[in-house]
Amino acid sequence: MLRIERVSHAYGEIVSLRDVSLDLEAGEILCLLGPSGCGKTTLLRIVAGLETDYDGAIVFDGEDIRPVPVHRRGFGLMFQDFALFPHLSTADNIAYGLKRLGLNRREIGEKVQSLLQRVGLEDFDERDVASLSGGQKQRVALARSLAPNPRLLMLDEPLGSLDAQLRDQLALELRQIIKSAGLSAIYVTHDRREAYAVADRIAVMNIGSVRQHGSPRQVYRRPSCAFVARFLGLQNVYSTSDRRITSLLSRAGGGNWRIGSSILIHPAGIRHNGGQTNDAIPTELTLEAAVFRGERYDLTATTDSGLPLSFDLSELPVNVGEKLTVHILPDAIIPLDD
């Protein structure tokens, strides 16, 4: 439905997007995930038509939409700061796009009421937007961008300014509302937890280009490069030329890693007491640190050769400073691109 074809963009001397290609199926939620400054917001603005100075093409339903001005695209955009109109009431904010469509008062009134209901703000129609809480503002902004039935919904860090607790709850709610409206959406965030919760597909971006895309599970389980692994919080990334890792690799048998490239030892494949297969590599470690996280312990341990490994277990097996044996599954050793 939407194809982003080899899009490049620069702010003056600074290149913000480098040859980015992506596509979006109808009804799909694509998440652009990356650190700040990676170009994800710029890409969103280009698709919205707010940035017009770019190379490449944005194709929507088979048509290059470069000449279509912002207001004719029919794409909804939810801003990070919500951009609620401070001089309009909650209801008038939501009605803004409906008025541009030329609907009559009655139709607008009904639509606004049903949207308020959908986002759970039934009695807020006459409220001054300045008096709303962060979470309520977020809902109004969502209702406003949903109101004109956009052909595509874009959300720029829609939960970025809310506190962490609220974020988890609202991310799920957002997904449900987008899905129930049958919308295609592009969702920009720097928070991987949010991306996992919302996305059908994730595109991980860094310094203006897409490093990997796939389902949340694919991206997490098989990160393609060191950047993606680290950005997703996977810390066991090593160079294959690191002496401390050679014995481990030789015991794992013939992997397809090259000398000088990087590998990841995925924590999901580090087992203690059960779950290991016959070809798992037993490794003796010394526990260096343990952080209690409630349902899990985050552990840091080192091998005899001094290689640090991070993983988590549901129970603390030994005390800090003591030795333990873990089993590393061969497919937990993942070769990474540079």
Partner 1 sequence: MMRRARQLWVIVFFIPLAFLGLFYAYPLLSIFDVSLRPAGILDLSAFVRLLSSDYYIGTLLFTVYQAALSTVVTLVLATPCAFVFARYQFRGKTLLLSLATLPFVLPTVVVALAFATLLGKDGTLNDLLMAFFTLESTPIQLERSLAMIIIAHVFYNFAVALRIMTSYWSSLGFRVEEAARCLGADELALWRDIRLPLIRPAMLSAGVLVFIFSFTSFGVILILGGIRFATLEVQIYYQAVNMFNLPLAAALSLVQILSMLFMMMIYTSTQKRLQLTLASSAAVAKRPRTLLERLCVSLCVALIAVLLFAPLLALVVRSVLVAGQLDLANFASLVEKSRGSLLFIAPIESVFNSLRFALIAMCAALSLGLIASYMIERRGRWSRLLDPLFMLPLATSAVTLGFGFIIALDEPPLNLRASWLIIPISHTLVALPFVIRSVLPSLRAIPASLREAARTLGAKPVDALLTIDLPLLGRGIAVGATFAFTVSMGEFGASLFVAQRESVTIPVVIYRLLGDPGFASYRQSLAMSVLLMLVCASGFVIIERLRIAGVGEF
Q: Which residues bind partner 1 (CB under 8 A)?
A: 48-50, 69-77, 79-81, 83, 85-87, 96-97, 100-101, 144-145, 147-148
How far apart are CB 181 and partner 1 at their closest, in Å?
Answer: 16
How far apart are CB 220 and partner 1 at their closest, in Å?
Answer: 32
Nearer residue to partner 1 within complex by CB, 83 or 237: 83
Nearer residue to partner 1 within complex by CB, 72 or 251: 72
How far apart are CB 14 and partner 1 at their closest, in Å?
Answer: 17
Nearer residue to partner 1 within complex by CB, 87 or 323: 87
> Which amino acid, 40?
K
| DSSP label of 89 | B
Strands 63-64, 201-206: pairing kind: unpaired
In the numeric block, which tokens belong to residue 108? Answer: 């607008």
How long a stretch of residues is the chain? Answer: 338
Locate the DSSP E strands across the chain. Answer: 2-11, 14-24, 29-33, 55-60, 63-64, 75-78, 152-156, 185-189, 201-206, 209-214, 237-239, 262-265, 270-271, 281-292, 297-303, 308-313, 323-328, 333-336
- Asked if residues 94 and 115 have their Cβ atoms less than 8 Å apart, the reply is yes
In the numeric block, which tokens belong to residue 261? Answer: 């490239």
How far apart are CB 42 and partner 1 at their closest, in Å?
Answer: 13
| DSSP label of 133 | -
Nearer residue to partner 1 within complex by CB, 78 or 229: 78
212-222: string of b/e by CB count within 10 Å (b at 16+)? bbbebeebbbb
How far apart are CB 51 and partner 1 at their closest, in Å?
Answer: 10
Nearer residue to partner 1 within complex by CB, 50 or 316: 50
How far apart are CB 85 and partner 1 at their closest, in Å?
Answer: 6
Nearer residue to partner 1 within complex by CB, 73 or 192: 73
For 332, residues 6+ apart whose C-beta sits below 8 A from its C-beta are 265, 266, 268, 269, 270
**Rg of the chain taking only CA atoms, in angstroms:** 24
Nearer residue to partner 1 within complex by CB, 52 or 325: 52
- The Cα 308–Cα 286 span in angstroms is 9
C-alpha closest to that of 32 among 166, 118, 165, 157: 157
How far apart are CB 81 and partner 1 at their closest, in Å?
Answer: 6
Nearer residue to partner 1 within complex by CB, 17 or 94: 94
How far apart are CB 48 and partner 1 at their closest, in Å?
Answer: 6
